[in-house]
């Protein structure tokens, strides 16, 4: 017998007594309930017989306890146990006995399964139990985690493993509501039943979609971290040679920018802001293989060789987007933790397609063809306008000197006068119209009961809209997985890609094409290959002149150079892996994988020496190679080898309501790269099929680098637990080792965790009908970043400086050559991991039906940024050292939604996402600003003078000069029409400061201030998809906002003085005493006021909204496939357009890319399934 | 059944065992062999130590070569200042002193490269004191020579830095990452004093000469020559200090074995480099590949620049730094008719020089038709790189005996030894006369010498060489021999065709160059101290 002792507290505060008791009992009851204990057969089978007279209730109960297994549980404070009763029973069940015994009292009772009987005051709700099983209507399997709620109350439970539930109800006439994400809710009246089995019908909400999370997958509803994903259907909507572009605008937190018209180019991908001004590129993982490329860790840094050697071809273009099943982006530390090393900037997981067990063989074919056009064009001066401008410029300053090459060109009296020449359109001459883009892919997949297979071949090619620019890819993939027996599974995945591309090194600056003087002829039937010469070349007297025939305004003849020279690239990529997976115990999988990624990239460059007449910088090439050579040729090879071996142990099981998923991973990555090159100055043929290195004459150079090796080792443990899909805990700890650090600093330990709570799994939320699912989640984690120049912790000797000593009689004037040996930098043995800490909180919700909403707040602090320290030049370093020098914070919110509505046959889906980024540099090395990396400002903010205005009169100018001075002015040459700038700050006087806010009436470098930021404050995307019968339509918009951009085109081409490059027609609106209402300063030779200096005058908003893709498709109806006897199982034809329009205030060529804007693409295609 | 289960556990255990082995081996996987030679193991022979020394000399390429990538040859800013050389047009702040500011590119480049050279000298000095390195010396005395070279080269850097920027920090030791990386400004004469003290040491360490394979490396005479210049410089800024003048004379007396070359023109000819008059030359040459890429620093290696830049004097296509420097009218007019040095220095008759090189304009009209030709006259101008014809192998002479003799003449004159001074000046004039055959009658020997005579003789003798003139004018101003603040635009050689109000020289502001803004931005100690007055 259990009797509560009499707590003193209760006596002192009698008013609370009853309340406290009820609380306590309720707790016990619910606790017992949770233990799944309910009435058993014992109470049904045990019969009592006895007779008592004038005994207390307490006594009766005591006697029952003595003769049976029943135990009673009550509190004397509330129930009068001393009441005397007379009671006689024969073969009576205990319930009936107690009913009689307590009939006239204020008490009631309840029999529990363990033969415990609770006696409580009637106020205490002793409910009745309803049990049952919830199953999936399709599979018949029990569904755990289903919410079971008494309608109109907050009373509820959820089903356990096997789908069984038990719920206490106040009476048996209530209605129960069964709800579960991914299934349609059901409301069923009990109508007196004590058991109720229910079959739920699944309903597509997307929450059951599988998301790739790294070393496994998870259904969307169970994800606790920040992951965005797109699948094949979205990827195929984008016309591109690489997969990155498919992400643009479709994922919150993922910004894809810098898109260019050059098909080789690498877009910039940033996940939730910019963590560092060094390597902020996310890690790409293709089928488990982390991609590394030559120059890793130093891209974006000062090493000019790294980016040059790496070449312009985007390594991601070697993956055929047709082969991609899904792209998952792991955005927060908790998600990315599992790829720890190199994952700090986020991870882009690319999973390729595979066959399915048991599927019959399917052949899919897709083809697409499109044409591209760049429609933007700069409005530049024609020959007449330009000639006049140059004449005026020379006249503007008597001290001006006409460059030797310009003598006579602008003098109408001279026979060389250019003013009467026609105007040649150099922008059009460099442009390719209707450049084709095409893509073909054939894929075969299927599976037997134990084996699945996938085979594909693809061909894609895209031409640029500038001359001689293209990229092609031929690729193949093969995947095979087979279950050998119950315990053993093996598989392989192999991918090969051959790429070819071409560009004209360095000449692809679209607005540079507009700089050429309009009188420079393009064609000349007498010139080499029909092109007009730029330089005089061989003179009749046999000597050579590199003078430009058409003056300093003439530029390198790019179309001729592209026509007669050639620089092209080829690459071959072999990547693949094999794995062996053992399942020795249920739920335990041990997987060993070896992956190889071998990427070789070659560059070939041929120069026809005849082309020196198109390029004034080349001088006389006829003496090259000892004379008699017709051209030069250069080959360069870059080899990347990336080998990853991994061991993964995974244990995944469910114990009742408890699901656990344990993962341990050991990975070892060995990466090496090298490049080698060879060139010759001596060719006897310009036939590209015959050119070769070497030959009879020795004008060859060769070089190669040693293999650059790096190694990464990671050890990781991840534990995931969830209870009833309601409470989730995920935790990851990794230990990473990197060869980039000294042995004592090599290892870093990085923990992370995330939590989630499905509120809609709680009974108290069940009353909210419009909320189908609500999951709160949050997490914290730390990741390491090792991206820094290899060997920065050591002090390498460089032998690059060369010198001579001595007078060498064999080489008079040139001495004895030697390689030097010195150090360029400063070793920093204390270099450590850069640590990125991320905190995330947010929720995922399904509101009403088919409206999904996600919200997230993130806050990332990247501390100990591994970067170049800007040390004073008085230390005499050539290479600045690397150190953990700064911290940068990115924070913001992400919101995304997706809503689907069916209206008759019309299915309409609208989705959108918005991400805000507040980027700020928190600390720098000793607080010293490093250019535009400055505490309190975003990375790479725009810094410059604040434009004041134009001096409208001499008196205004004099008044200004009386008060101010400008370090850049040549004061004596100032005139009305020149610009002035605002005084903002002055030189520092306090130690440790770098400027003073007080004004000094002096305009100098201290007055260069914040003018804008280059990292957008927000970016967004939204899409509209519709399906109507066989038709489908989709439109994708993307945009960025709260961002500024320097309009370099205006800064360069709105200059009102020129004797060289052409300028915009808007430059003609320059200030004159009679044309004062203008922002263009006066025309003056030499720009003595530095009117064209960088200032806020050239900063514009870089915000834009772009309709990036629009597509209309038609899928043939079922009747058609029947006609073909299911030979054709699906056929869809479509037409579409990319980069349809852009809304922007930016006045350059394109807010994303002025150098080579993205073209408009019109295309059509077909997808078929056999 | 039981047996199967046992095997399964065995399998699981062995997998765990294997994986732990994998884990252990991982630790070793991180020990990747560096792809670079490391400082700690590189120096294993005397020859490799010489390469470290050579790297100090190599840095001069970044001061004297075309440097087309970054605004042009840095040294040209100090060549343009002064009264011997002018600019084509009025757009150069180095000449007009208008708009010259701390952000000026060449002034920064020169600063940066001088310090890089000093850092390399410090590296050599640290290494050769390391027993693990100096055990490889086999040649007697070579270690001392190397130390002397490093000290000399660093002193040359300090001499330039003090002269141009004055309060530049003294970088006299190798700085490591944990040291103070923001050096304080130097005070007063400290930097020049340091140069002098080091040169005194260097002079005792350096050899008297090198063999023909090592000609061009500095010698005792180099150190004494630079000492003479430093002492005279310090004396000028120190109220004509007699002690310094005396030390200059002492240093001069220690120069032995050097002599003026017979012909003035041999000082500028690639065929007579490292001659008896030459005390210090930049060893210009060309990469063996034949490619001196004018857009790359010497540090790039392989195709980096190793030559010298002279196209500011002529009409190579190059870029905006070519063909824009020329003699002032003041210089053209300064030569007496018959002084052979005039034709060796400048010409108004380029066609008659026998040039057949394509960058020479037959219709040269700048600078009243005159061109500077010291290093490019006739065959001298025919030693360019094969591909670009941009950088020349002809060595710029940085210190030659004539310069030192004229400097010591000042010391003699200021210490009351006019006779000795006269001898030095007349030596120079005699050689000038004898530079042509038959010998010219002018310039005749002087009967007596004044300070003005020396000032004029240096003008004629050293015109256009390594910015000497600007250094001279300022020290003479400091000593009171001349007063630059009263000089007119014409006195500075600013062309009469231009409005003289465009010329904005102001003293004392323009007596120093600005400290580069990037130094102020990165060095709080310099920032607090502020820029040189007026900038």
Q: List pLDDT tens digits, range B20-36.
A: 655 555 677 888 888 88
Integer Cα distance of A318 and A291 in angstroms:
12
pLDDT reading at A803 higher than 60: yes
CB of B301 within 8 Å of a chain A CB? The answer is yes
Coil, strand or helix: which one is B44? coil
CB contact under 8 A, A804 and B499: no
pLDDT reading at A1096 higher than 80: yes
pLDDT reading at A1018 higher than 90: yes
- At residue B294, the pLDDT reads 85
Q: What integer best gives the mean pLDDT of chain A?
A: 85
pLDDT reading at A22 higher than 50: no
Which residue among B32, B34, B89 places its CB closest to the CB of A400? B89
Q: Are B535 and B514 in contact (CB under 8 A)?
A: yes
A875: number of Cβ within 10 Å: 24
Express each pLDDT in A615-670 by its tens digit: 888 878 887 877 788 999 999 999 999 999 888 899 988 887 888 999 988 888 88
Confidence at B247, pLDDT banded by 50, 70, 90:
very high
Express each pLDDT in B424-442 by its tens digit: 999 999 999 999 989 999 9
CB contact under 8 A, A820 and B51: yes
- At residue B19, the pLDDT reads 62
Integer Cα distance of B220 and B200 in angstroms:
10
- At residue B160, the pLDDT reads 97
Q: Are A160 and A147 in contact (CB under 8 A)?
A: no
CB contact under 8 A, B521 and A737: no
Q: Quick one: residue A410, left, alpha or beta (phi over 0 = left, psi -120 to 50 = alpha)?
A: alpha
Measured CA distances, A171 to A96, A194, A624 (Å):
19, 10, 103
CB contact under 8 A, A794 and B38: yes
CB contact under 8 A, A399 and B497: yes
pLDDT reading at B45 higher than 90: yes
Helix (H) or strand (E) holding A872, with range, is: none
Integer Cα distance of A466 and A504 in angstroms:
9
Nearest to A930 by CA among A868, A847, A1019: A868
Q: Which residue of A has its CA nearest to B285?
A: A814
Which residue among A668, A878, A990 places its CB closest to the CB of B29? A668
Q: Quick one: residue A791, left, alpha or beta (phi over 0 = left, psi -120 to 50 = alpha)?
A: left
Average pLDDT over residues B299-317: 86
Interstrand relation of A2-3 and A71-74 (parallel, antiparallel or unpaired): parallel
Give me the residues of B, 445-464, that contact A with CB < 8 A.
Answer: none
Q: Are A773 and A851 in contact (CB under 8 A)?
A: no
pLDDT reading at A264 higher than 80: yes
| Residue matched to tokens 């994400």 | A181
- At residue A204, the pLDDT reads 61
CB of B516 within 8 Å of a chain A CB? The answer is yes
Q: Please state the ipTM of this predicted complex.
A: 0.93
pLDDT reading at A199 higher than 60: yes
CB contact under 8 A, B99 and A706: no
pLDDT reading at A723 higher than 80: yes
Q: Are A632 and A683 in contact (CB under 8 A)?
A: yes
Which residue among A795, A813, A820 places its CB closest to the CB of B58? A820
Q: How many CB pairs under 8 A join A and B?
A: 351
| Chain A residue numbers touching B118 (CB-CB < 8 A) | 876
Max Cα distance, chain B (Å): 124
Q: Which residue of B has its CA nearest to A924?
A: B522
Q: What integer best gives the mean pLDDT of chain B?
A: 90
Q: Which residue of B has its CA nearest to A591?
A: B15
Tell me the pTM. Answer: 0.79
CB of B286 within 8 Å of a chain A CB? The answer is yes
Task: For residue B520, give how far its alpha carbon lies from the nearest alpha carbon of chain A (Å).
Answer: 8
Confidence at B351, pLDDT banded by 50, 70, 90:
low
Interface test with A, best of B26, B271, B535 (most A CBs within 10 A): B26
Which residue among A670, A710, A987 places its CB closest to the CB of B530? A987
Q: Are A1130 and A1120 in contact (CB under 8 A)?
A: no
Task: For residue A968, give how far its alpha carbon lies from the nearest alpha carbon of chain B (Å).
Answer: 4
- At residue A345, the pLDDT reads 85
CB contact under 8 A, B33 and A709: yes
Give me the residues of B, 74-113, that contact A with CB < 8 A.
Answer: 88-91, 93, 96, 98-99, 101-103, 108, 111-112
| Chain A residue numbers touching B102 (CB-CB < 8 A) | 967, 1004-1005
pLDDT reading at A1169 higher than 60: yes
DSSP A796: B
- At residue B482, the pLDDT reads 96
Q: What proportion of chain A, given as a percentage, has pLDDT over 70?
A: 93
Average pLDDT over residues A597-609: 92
- At residue B157, the pLDDT reads 98
pLDDT reading at A35 higher than 50: no
CB contact under 8 A, A666 and B22: yes
Task: For residue B278, give how far its alpha carbon lies from the nearest alpha carbon of chain A (Å).
Answer: 13
pLDDT reading at A6 higher than 60: no
Integer Cα distance of B272 and A1163 in angstroms:
71
| Chain A residue numbers touching B50 (CB-CB < 8 A) | 818
Integer Cα distance of A318 and A498 in angstroms:
7
Lowest mean pLDDT among A512-516, B7-11, B108-112, B262-266: B7-11
A1117: number of Cβ within 10 Å: 11
Integer Cα distance of A471 and A432 in angstroms:
15
Express each pLDDT in A813-837 by its tens digit: 899 999 999 999 998 888 888 899 9
Radius of gyration (Cα) for chain B, nearest Å?
Answer: 27
Q: Which residue has the higher pLDDT, A762 or A302?
A: A762
A1120-1125 contacts: CB < 8 A, separation 24 or more? none
- At residue A26, the pLDDT reads 45
Token readout for A33 is: 């309930």
Confidence at A189, pLDDT banded by 50, 70, 90:
confident
- At residue A18, the pLDDT reads 46
Measured CA distances, A666 to A581, A675, A713, A740, A751 (Å):
15, 30, 8, 19, 16
pLDDT reading at B6 higher than 80: no
| Chain B residue numbers touching A303 (CB-CB < 8 A) | none
CB of B24 within 8 Å of a chain A CB? The answer is no
Integer Cα distance of A80 and B441 in angstroms:
145
| Chain A residue numbers touching B525 (CB-CB < 8 A) | 991
CB contact under 8 A, A828 and B177: yes
Helix (H) or strand (E) holding A163, with range, is: none
Integer Cα distance of A1140 and A174 in angstroms:
58
| Chain A residue numbers touching B15 (CB-CB < 8 A) | 582, 584, 590, 649
pLDDT reading at B288 higher than 50: yes
Measured CA distances, A741 to A516, A711, A738 (Å):
50, 11, 6
Express each pLDDT in A122-148 by its tens digit: 665 556 788 888 888 877 888 877 878
Integer Cα distance of A1107 and B502 in angstroms:
55
Confidence at B178, pLDDT banded by 50, 70, 90:
confident
Residues 6+ apart with CB under 8 A from A1122: none
| Chain B residue numbers touching A967 (CB-CB < 8 A) | 99, 101-103, 535
Confidence at B532, pLDDT banded by 50, 70, 90:
very high
Q: Which residue of A has its CA nearest to B51?
A: A820
Residues 6+ apart with CB under 8 A from A959: none
Nearest to A87 by CA among A104, A75, A106: A104
Q: Which residue has the higher pLDDT, A297 or B222?
A: B222
Integer Cα distance of A568 and A558 in angstroms:
16
List, in sequence order, the alpha helices (H) in B59-189.
61-64, 76-80, 93-96, 105-129, 131-134, 142-165
Interface test with B, best of A394, A609, A698, A821 (most B CBs within 10 A): A821
pLDDT reading at A1 higher than 50: no
Coil, strand or helix: which one is B328? coil
Which residue among B43, B54, B535 places its CB closest to the CB of A803? B54
Token readout for A1091 is: 């009117």
Task: For residue A45, give how far its alpha carbon lies from the nearest alpha carbon of chain B (Å).
Answer: 41
CA atoms within 13 A on the CB side of B269: 14
Average pLDDT over residues B398-406: 97
Which residue among B37, B115, B394 places its CB closest to the CB of A875? B115
Confidence at A113, pLDDT banded by 50, 70, 90:
low
CB of B419 within 8 Å of a chain A CB? The answer is no
Q: Quick one: residue A813, left, alpha or beta (phi over 0 = left, psi -120 to 50 = alpha)?
A: left
- At residue A341, the pLDDT reads 64
Residues 6+ apart with CB under 8 A from A103: none
Task: For residue A1135, give how far its alpha carbon lies from the nearest alpha carbon of chain B (Å).
Answer: 49
Q: Which residue of B has its CA nearest to A988?
A: B528
- At residue B129, the pLDDT reads 96
Q: Are A363 and A1167 in contact (CB under 8 A)?
A: no
- At residue A235, the pLDDT reads 82
pLDDT reading at A340 higher than 70: no
Task: For residue B159, give how far its alpha carbon lies from the nearest alpha carbon of chain A (Å).
Answer: 15
Coil, strand or helix: which one is B474? helix
Confidence at A16, pLDDT banded by 50, 70, 90:
very low
Integer Cα distance of A433 and A1162 in angstroms:
12
pLDDT reading at A873 higher than 70: yes
As a whole number of Å, the end-to-end CA separation of chain B is 92
- At residue A154, the pLDDT reads 67
Give me the residues of B, 322-361, that contact A with CB < 8 A.
Answer: 323, 356, 358-359, 361
């Amino acid at each position: 017998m259990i009797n509560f002792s009499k707590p003193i507290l209760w006596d002192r505060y009698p008013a609370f007594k009853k309340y406290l008791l009820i609380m306590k009992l309720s707790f016990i009851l619910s606790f017992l309930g949770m233990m799944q204990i309910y009435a058993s057969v014992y109470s049904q089978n045990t019969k009592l017989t006895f007779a008592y007279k004038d005994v207390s209730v307490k006594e009766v109960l005591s006697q029952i306890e003595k003769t049976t297994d029943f135990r009673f549980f009550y509190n004397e404070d509330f129930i009068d146990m001393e009441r005397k009763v007379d009671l006689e029973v024969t073969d009576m069940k205990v319930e009936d006995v107690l009913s009689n015994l307590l009939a006239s009292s204020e008490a009631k009772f309840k029999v529990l399964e363990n033969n415990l009987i609770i006696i409580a005051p009637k106020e205490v709700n002793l409910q009745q139990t309803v049990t049952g099983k919830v199953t999936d209507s399709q599979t018949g399997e029990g569904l755990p985690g289903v919410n079971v709620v008494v309608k109109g109350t907050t009373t509820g439970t959820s089903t356990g493993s096997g789908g069984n539930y038990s719920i206490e109800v106040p009476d048996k006439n209530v209605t129960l509501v069964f709800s579960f994400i991914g299934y349609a809710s059901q409301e069923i009246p009990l109508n007196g039943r004590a058991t109720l089995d229910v079959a739920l019908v699944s309903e597509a909400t997307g929450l059951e979609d599988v998301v790739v999370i790294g070393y496994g997958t998870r259904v969307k509803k169970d994800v606790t971290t920040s992951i965005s994903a797109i699948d094949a259907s979205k990827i195929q909507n984008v016309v591109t040679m690489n997969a990155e572009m498919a992400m643009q605008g479709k994922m919150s937190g993922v910004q894809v920018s810098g898109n260019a018209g050059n098909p080789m180019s690498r877009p910039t991908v940033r996940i939730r802001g910019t963590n560092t001004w060094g390597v902020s590129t996310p890690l790409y993982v293709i089928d488990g293989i982390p991609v590394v490329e030559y120059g890793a860790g130093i891209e974006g840094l000062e090493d000019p060789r790294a980016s040059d050697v790496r070449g312009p071809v985007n390594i991601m273009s070697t993956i055929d987007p047709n082969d991609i099943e899904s792209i998952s982006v792991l955005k927060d530390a908790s998600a990315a933790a599992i790829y720890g090393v190199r994952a700090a900037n986020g991870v882009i997981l690319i999973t390729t397609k595979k066959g399915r067990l048991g599927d019959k063989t399917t052949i899919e074919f897709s083809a697409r063809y499109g044409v591209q056009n760049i429609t933007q064009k700069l409005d530049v001066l024609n020959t007449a306008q330009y000639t006049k401008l140059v004449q005026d410029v020379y006249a503007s300053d008597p001290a001006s000197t006409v460059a030797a090459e310009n003598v006579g060109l602008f003098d109408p009296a001279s026979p060389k006068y250019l003013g009467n020449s026609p105007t040649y359109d150099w922008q059009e001459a460099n442009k390719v119209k209707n450049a084709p883009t095409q893509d073909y892919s054939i894929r075969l997949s299927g599976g037997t009961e134990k084996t699945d297979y996938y085979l594909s071949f693809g061909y894609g090619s895209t031409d640029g809209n500038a001359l001689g620019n293209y990229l092609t890819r031929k690729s193949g993939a093969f995947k095979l997985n087979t279950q050998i027996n119950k315990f053993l599974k093996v598989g392989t995945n192999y991918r090969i890609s051959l790429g070819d591309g071409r560009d004209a090194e360095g000449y692809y600056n679209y607005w540079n094409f507009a700089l050429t003087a309009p009188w420079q002829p393009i064609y000349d039937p007498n010139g080499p290959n029909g092109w007009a010469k730029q330089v005089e070349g061989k003179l009749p007297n046999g000597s050579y002149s590199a003078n430009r025939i058409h003056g300093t305004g003439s530029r390198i003849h790019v179309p001729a150079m592209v026509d007669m020279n050639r620089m092209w690239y080829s690459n071959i990529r072999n990547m693949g892996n094999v794995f062996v997976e053992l399942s020795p115990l249920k739920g335990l999988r041990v997987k060993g994988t070896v992956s190889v990624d071998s990427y070789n990239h070659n560059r070939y460059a041929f120069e026809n020496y005849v082309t020196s007449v198109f390029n004034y910088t080349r001088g006389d090439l006829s003496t090259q190679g000892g004379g008699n050579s017709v051209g030069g040729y250069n080959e360069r090879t870059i080899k990347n080898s990336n080998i990853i071996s991994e061991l993964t142990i995974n244990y995944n099981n469910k114990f009742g309501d408890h699901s656990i998923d344990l993962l341990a991973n050991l990975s070892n990555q060995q990466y090496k790269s090298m490049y080698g090159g060879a060139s010759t100055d001596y060719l006897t043929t310009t036939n590209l099929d015959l050119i070769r290195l070497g030959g009879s004459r020795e004008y060859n150079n060769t070089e190669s680098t040693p293999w650059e090796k790096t190694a990464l080792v990671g050890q990781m443990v991840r534990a995931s637990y969830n209870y009833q899909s309601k409470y989730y805990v995920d935790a990851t700890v990794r230990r990473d080792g990197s060869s980039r650090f000294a042995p004592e600093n090599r290892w870093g330990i990085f923990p992370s965790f995330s939590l989630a709570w499905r509120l809609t799994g709680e009974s108290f939320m069940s009353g909210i009908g419009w909320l189908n699912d609500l999951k709160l989640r949050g997490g914290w984690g730390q990741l390491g970043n090792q991206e820094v120049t290899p060997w920065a912790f050591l002090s390498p000797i460089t032998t690059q400086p060369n010198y001579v000593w001595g007078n060498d009689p064999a080489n008079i004037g040139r001495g004895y050559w030697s390689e030097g040996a010195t150090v360029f930098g400063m070793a920093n043995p204390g270099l450590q991991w850069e640590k990125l800490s991320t905190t995330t909180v947010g929720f995922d919700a399904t509101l009403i039906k088919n409206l999904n909403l996600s919200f997230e707040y993130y806050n990332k602090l990247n501390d100990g940024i591994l970067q170049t320290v800007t040390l004073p030049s008085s230390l005499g370093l050539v290479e600045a050292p690397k150190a953990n020098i700064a911290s940068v914070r990115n924070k913001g919110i992400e919101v995304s939604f997706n809503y689907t509505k069916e209206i008759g046959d019309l299915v309409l889906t609208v989705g959108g996402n918005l991400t805000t980024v507040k980027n700020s540099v928190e600390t720098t090395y000793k607080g010293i600003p490093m250019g535009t990396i400055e505490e309190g400002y975003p990375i790479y903010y725009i810094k410059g003078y604040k434009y004041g205005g134009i001096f409208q009169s001499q008196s205004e100018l004099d008044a200004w000069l009386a008060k101010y001075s400008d370090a850049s002015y040549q004061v004596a040459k100032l005139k009305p029409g020149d610009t002035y700038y605002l005084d903002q700050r002055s030189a520092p006087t306090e130690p440790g400061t770098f400027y003073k806010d007080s004004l000094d009436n002096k305009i100098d470098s201290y007055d260069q201030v914040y003018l804008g930021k280059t990292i957008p404050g927000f970016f967004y995307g939204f899409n509209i998809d519709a399906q109507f019968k066989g038709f489908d339509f989709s439109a994708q918009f993307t945009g960025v906002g709260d961002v500024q951009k320097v309009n370099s085109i205006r800064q360069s081409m709105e200059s009102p003085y020129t004797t060289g490059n052409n300028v915009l027609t808007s430059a003609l609106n320059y200030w004159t005493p009679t044309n004062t209402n203008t922002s263009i300063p006066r025309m003056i030779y030499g720009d003595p006021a530095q009117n064209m200096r960088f200032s806020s005058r050239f900063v514009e908003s870089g915000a834009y909204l772009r309709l990036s893709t629009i597509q209309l498709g038609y899928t043939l109806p079922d009747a058609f496939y029947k006609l073909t006897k299911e030979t054709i199982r699906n056929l869809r034809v479509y037409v579409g357009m990319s980069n349809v329009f852009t809304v922007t205030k930016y006045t350059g060529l394109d807010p994303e890319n002025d150098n080579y804007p993205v073209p408009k693409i019109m295309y059509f295609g077909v997808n078929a399934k056999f | 059944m039981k047996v199967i289960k046992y095997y399964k556990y065995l399998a699981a255990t062995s997998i765990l065992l294997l994986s732990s082995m994998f884990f252990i081996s991982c630790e070793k996987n991180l020990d990747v062999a560096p792809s670079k030679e490391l400082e700690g193991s590189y120096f294993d022979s005397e020859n490799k130590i010489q390469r470290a020394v050579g790297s100090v000399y190599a840095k001069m390429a970044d001061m004297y070569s075309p440097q087309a990538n970054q605004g042009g040859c840095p040294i040209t800013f100090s060549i343009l200042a002064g009264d011997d050389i002018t600019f084509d047009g009025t757009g150069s702040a180095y000449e007009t002193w208008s708009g010259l500011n701390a952000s000026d590119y060449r002034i920064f480049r020169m600063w940066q490269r001088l310090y890089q050279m000093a850092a390399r000298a410090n590296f050599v000095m640290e290494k050769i004191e390391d027993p693990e390195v100096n055990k490889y010396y086999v040649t007697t005395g070579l270690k001392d020579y190397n130390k002397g070279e490093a000290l000399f080269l660093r002193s040359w850097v300090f001499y330039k830095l003090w002269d141009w920027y004055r309060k530049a920090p003294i970088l006299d030791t190798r700085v490591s990452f944990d040291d103070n990386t923001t050096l304080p400004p130097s005070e007063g004469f400290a930097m020049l004093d340091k140069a002098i003290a080091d040169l005194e040491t260097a002079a005792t360490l350096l050899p008297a000469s090198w063999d023909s394979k090592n000609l061009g490396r500095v010698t005792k005479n180099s150190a004494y020559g630079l000492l003479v210049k430093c002492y005279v410089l310090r004396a000028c800024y120190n109220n004509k200090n007699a002690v310094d003048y005396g030390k200059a004379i002492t240093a001069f007396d220690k120069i032995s074995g050097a002599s003026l070359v017979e012909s003035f023109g041999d000082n500028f000819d690639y065929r007579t480099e490292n001659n008896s008059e030459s005390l210090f030359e930049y060893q210009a040459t060309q990469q063996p590949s034949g490619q001196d890429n004018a857009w790359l620093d010497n540090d790039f290696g392989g195709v980096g620049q190793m030559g010298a830049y002279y196209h500011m004097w002529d009409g190579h296509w190059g870029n905006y730094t070519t063909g824009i420097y020329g003699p002032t009218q003041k210089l053209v007019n300064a030569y007496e008719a018959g002084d052979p040095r005039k034709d060796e220095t400048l010409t108004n008759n380029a066609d008659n020089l026998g040039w057949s090189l394509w960058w020479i304009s037959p219709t040269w009209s700048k600078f009243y038709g005159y061109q500077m030709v010291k290093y490019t006259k006739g065959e001298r101008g025919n030693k360019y790189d094969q591909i670009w014809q941009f950088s020349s192998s002809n060595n710029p002479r940085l210190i030659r005996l004539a310069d030192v003799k004229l400097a010591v003449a000042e010391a003699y004159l200021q210490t009351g030894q006019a006779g000795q001074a006269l001898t030095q000046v007349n030596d120079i004039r005699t050689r000038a006369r004898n530079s042509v055959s038959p010998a010219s009658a002018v310039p005749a020997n002087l009967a007596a010498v004044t300070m003005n005579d020396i000032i004029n003789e240096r003008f004629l003798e050293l015109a256009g060489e390594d910015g000497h003139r600007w250094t001279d004018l300022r020290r003479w101003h400091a000593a009171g021999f001349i007063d630059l603040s009263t000089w007119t635009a014409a006195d500075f050689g600013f062309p009469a065709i231009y409005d003289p109000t465009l010329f904005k020289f102001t003293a004392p502001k323009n007596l120093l160059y600005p400290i580069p803004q990037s130094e102020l931005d990165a060095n709080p100690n310099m920032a607090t101290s502020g820029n040189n007055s007026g900038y």
